[in-house]
Structure 1
Amino acid sequence: MAYDEKLRALADSSRRALYESLAREPAYTATLAEESRLSQPAVSQHLKVLLEAGLVSLQRDGRRTLYAARPGALDELVSYLGGLTAATPSIEPGLPHAFEADAIALAALRWAREWPGQDPNVYAVTQRLLLMGRHVERALKETAERHGLQGSELLLLDAINLTPGHSLTPSQLQMRLGLTKGAVTKLMNNLERLGLICRSASQQDRRISHVALTTKAQGTLKTILDHHEYGADHAAAKRLTANGLTQLAHLLQHFHGLMEEELARRAASDKSE
């Protein structure tokens, strides 16, 4: 069966990585070798397997060869896996998070089967980010509450702490936190009442104020770090290899940038209508 070859071809993690790269955009062998940090002969051998499995196509360009993922190459495989998942017992609410993650993978395959031509990874990525975002928000809320704070207040303190000189203007805090002027003002008023920040007028322009951390706030942040009070996201990130963590950080940065571009494009489109 055709999908047997595809399964065998994608069973190797290096080949999967090469195929995923080609699924994003066509590339030459040398480029793939540089990006994957594999030797060029190793990349060529992996590409040969992917080519024989019908997952990629090639186009000669002089002495170079341009490879690309073949459109629809995974359709039969997705259909086969979708048939298997149809007979899989449904995941009941309340099961451990490991089962929830499996459920997302299964749901992604069903989604692709329901909407032919769609990449199941698009669904899987957005659903995992949504689930992980909820965990991160919950952990932030719990950590903040242990110190008598709201999650947004802890984020504000962290934003100031990570700035050279430990000082920001209210406008800079608005941009950093993505909050309205009124929301930032409310947070600052409460933190000032708790003795965690202090505000002072700029010597260059008295209309501008600077917000700085107090010694008490710095002590609070140090306590959180020393007692490992950060959430499961921090602990999970530390369990990744150094290379894996770097790759994840770069991928998330790129994905975040693409989201910002899409949001800007949609905002511009709305204004033009």
Structure 2
Amino acid sequence: MSSSSQPSGYFIPSPSPFPVMAATCLVAMAFGAGLWFNDVPHAQWLLLVGLLGFLTTLYKWFGRAIAESEGGMHNQAVDSSFRWSMSWFIFSEVMFFASFFGALYYARVWALPDLAALHNQVLWPHFQAAWPSVGPGGLIPAVQAMDPWPIPTINTALLLSSGLTLTISHHAVRADHRGKAIFWLALTIALGVLFLFLQGFEYHHAYTEMGLKLSSGIYGATFFMLTGFHGFHVFLGATMLSVVLYRMIRGDFKADHHFAFEGAAWYWHFVDVVWLLLYVLVYWL
């Protein structure tokens, strides 16, 4: 159905194969991962094919949406639907991280004191409510908590600075100063990449010199799950901004029509806020 037949002017795209293609690839990835974890021969290739197919589908799907947008087919109603969609997506990410912060809170504030309480001394006579926890009877090798200095603090400064540079770039887009917007956006991406590099260095130090691993009890599990998933989101955010940068260089976006930039910026600022919570709750408390 074409947009010209819509009296409201709301653009409705033609029938698309991309939703079915994406769903098929995701199912292939799920089966491939499940079979691979159960040592089924060659199952990893099914996972790989599904992943490559999914990435290709996204590339084609987003490419069509971009062409529609740059072709003037997206009006204010479509723009509003995009904003609501991105808002709900970020809200789902908030709930995702809330579950891990909740696990950290429960382990430290409720589980440790309760296991060390008098009524549990029969079951766990030698349990100590110390953080990082070594488990009942010292089943887990003792590890040292990660120090907030220097790498986590430097990374905090990097992400806060990247939020500032991204805001400057956004204001430049709204003022139609394309060269300035490109420069500050590129600097934002560079700060994000440097953050990931330093986090990788921190992980290497934790594994090789401190003995802190994902298997190091509740502390190791919550530390690597929180920081690892956050790092993955930094990677996703940097990827989004890189696509926006490429589009900006080739001439896309106008001062009053640049939601792709805004959506990626919202996501990046969300990642910044999560890191601030993580920095305080994981590294300092």
**TM-score over 0.5 for the pair:** no
- TM category (shorter chain) comes to under 0.3
TM-score by length of structure 2 reads 0.26
**Which of the two has greater strand per residue?**
1
Instruction: Give the number of the structure whose alpha-carbon radius of gyration is greater.
Output: 1
TM-score by length of structure 1 reads 0.27
